[in-house]
Amino acid sequence: MRAYEQLYINGQWVASNGTGTLSVVDSATEETIATIPDGTADDVNAAVAAAKAAFPAWSALPKEERAAYLMKIHAGLEARTQEIAETIAKEVGMPLMLSNLIQAGLPKANFAIAAQLLGNYEFETQVGNSLVVREPIGVVGCITPWNYPLHQIALKVAPAMAAGNTVVLKPSEVAPINAFILAEVVAEAGLPAGVFNLVTGVGPVVGEAISAHPDVDMVSFTGSTRAGKRVAEVASQTVKKVALELGGKSPNVILPDADLAKAVADGVGKCFLNSGQTCTALTRMIVPRDKLAEVEQIAAATAAAFTPGNPFEQTSRLGPLVSAAQRDRVRGFIQKGIDEGATLIAGGPDAPEGLEQGYFVAPTVFSNVTRDMTIAQEEIFGPVLSIIPYDTEEEAIEIANDTIYGLAGGVWGEPDHAKAVARKIRAGQVEVNGGAFNVMAPFGGYKQSGLGREAGTFGLEEFLEVKSLQL
């Protein structure tokens, strides 16, 4: 077990003003693998003061110099790829092979992308007699989740710093070790003091202090819709910019002209990725009623291939959930689905055989789910798929849009037909026939799935103010 005893503030490792610690647990073994400081509002004050002091010089640096620092961070993360992958596999439960590709691969890519964007991005444009100037906002508070912990950190920190802002990061206390690795990499890269600051702790203390702080100019938050509403409420008192990437209940519409076997198998995989702990997970499979029996058969067979097990075992395709609380919450939703009359065709609320230790949930598929059931409306954040039949295309679209969320979606069918239906789904990103995730495309949600966009040029511009000089 490793004890992280210090925070990273103003370019130095310093003791927290608090005396408490928080435990980090291996999700497969339930063993404590680390402790971290339980930070305080005073720690936030120190970090914000450092970030504010560093902002003038950092924002004035030529963009090429900022890009060079980002590439140094990229190289530092690259050198520690395996360590990061193994760390997050323990924290979150994602099988190691996938953790290497996703949990370690995406964050280092995000820093390189942010650096590359600076090379071509024009911060000034002429519009008639006006010079339109894009400028950094100032101090950005980044509050990040546990499911893709370092990826979500990099998706905020890299473009924020690229744009010329300084940052105060509060990672999830459930999966924070990766954030300490990043801070170590930042220190080794020689980033000027105060540009990047790390304060660990719980949301009601550290998160609230960041959101409320008058010298924090923007808060970028990823997490649950409930927590996002609180961040926005607190931040509103100082009228700061807020970017929110929140929950989802994403539909996957399978049209009658789709390749059914391919569509269903892909959809099950998209639901179960990271044990369902994915905000964009395609958790509602909306299928033609006359093909329901065939869909059930394919889905059950696909689910059976998602073998639960320790993330470090090569045979494991489904790791544990992140915590006991999350496991119990998901099992509660499964029981709710049974109680409300959905047809259970795979999995269930009991622990997978032989996996009583660890936070495991069986890969679960429900059929004959109606749109008003709890499992069709609420974000579960576990390996639970709801199959919902429809009679007409109009009904399918209506079901797809019938939640408070609008983060992601999918459509399968003849390409032009599928694209036309995808346009009618109220969500920030919709994949057509399994279209691949694009790290340069804007990422964010409609409705209660959030405000603002991350990734690519849109993600960079989220961290910029716009000024007009009338000439």
**What pLDDT, on the 0 to 100 scale, is given for residue 439?**
92
- Is 36 within 8 Å of 69 (Cβ atoms)? no
The predicted-structure confidence for 84-124, as pLDDT tens digits, reads as follows 999 999 999 999 999 999 999 999 999 999 999 999 899 99
- Choosing from 279, 431, 454, 462, which is the catalytic residue? 279
Q: Supply the pLDDT for residue 25.
A: 97
Residues of the chain with pLDDT under 70: none
Do 279 and 208 fall into the same domain? no
Q: What is the pLDDT of residue 184?
A: 98
Among 91, 173, 208, 245, the active-site one is 245
Residue type, 32: T
pLDDT score, position 325 = 95
**Do 24 and 170 lie in a common domain?**
yes
Catalytic site residue 142? no
Model pLDDT, residue 168: 98
Number of domains forming the structure of the chain = 2
Q: Are residues 380 and 418 in the same domain?
A: yes
- Asked whether residue 393 falls in the same domain as residue 455, the answer is no
Answer yes or no: is 201 within a domain: yes
- Report pLDDT for 81: 97
- Which residues lie closer than 8 Å to 363 by C-beta, 6 or more apart? 272, 303, 304, 306, 308, 318, 346, 347, 383
The CATH code of the domain that includes 434 is: 3.40.309.10
* Distance (Å, whole) CA 33 – CA 90: 9
| Same domain membership, residue 279 and residue 190 | no
78 is catalytic: no
The answer as to whether 444 is a domain residue is: no
Residue identified by tokens 């990103």 is 429
- For residues 76 and 94, membership in a common domain is answered with yes
Q: What residue numbers bound the domain in which 216 lies?
A: 2-246+449-470
204: left (phi over 0), alpha (psi -120 to 50) or beta: alpha
Amino acid code (one letter) for 28: A
Q: Are residues 106 and 143 in the same domain?
A: yes
Q: How far is CA 274 from CA 97, 147, 281, 365, in A?
A: 12, 8, 9, 16
Give the model's pLDDT for residue 68: 98
Residue 411 resides in a domain:
yes
Measured CA to CA, the distance from residue 82 to residue 154 in angstroms comes to: 17
Residues 76 and 183 in one domain: yes
Helices (H), 195-343: 208-212, 225-236, 260-272, 292-304, 324-339
Does residue 48 lie in a domain region? yes
Residues 123 and 156 in one domain: yes
Q: In this predicted structure, what is the pLDDT of residue 337?
A: 98
Give the position of tokens 């998160």: 207
- 197 shares its domain with 313: no
